[in-house]
Structure 1
């Protein structure tokens, strides 16, 4: 695991195990992190799917010449739900459907990028 940790990059929330940890050091804000650094103290959660997708595409671009492992676990299908303006109100299934449509877009972007590199 240490070798993976030393070479890997990850973006996510601290305290993800319980999402909004009670008294977990972040009473009013959940920081967005990359590796062990805080990127932003209170990110707009409506943009996280787009931001995670962009980070994944950048990772693929940087790593495509050698084998790699990309793990992208979208947070948005879990409560509380957030969706970007682009997908808000688009699904007949309400907010959850909007979220799934946006994640479907994200997966499509990643698959397209992988196809570009063969």
Structure 2
């Protein structure tokens, strides 16, 4: 029963991916005045699905190796290590988010400190 549900979920996800890939291919074909066959879209979908599965397995492996049950940005950055340009872009993005969070936490702490001073 669980295997049937899992297989049904996989087929639904694959159908959704097929649709999304088809939409992207259609957009690009219109821009470039080209045509793509359904076989091409199917092959591209299969290749994309395989890449997604490989990424998921790698992320899960990195996460488990670190003794965690949740994938973190460190796992994603580790996955991107063999593509220096992608790694740099992702690292900069993660650093920006961390800096924003620290700035927000700092301003909320200073606001709380000002309230405490005002009460005294």
Report the TM-score, using the length of structure 2 for normalisation. Answer: 0.27
Normalized per residue, which structure has more strand? 1
Report the TM-score, using the length of structure 1 for normalisation. Answer: 0.28
Normalized per residue, which structure has more helix? 2
In our comparison, the structure showing a higher alpha carbon Rg is: 2
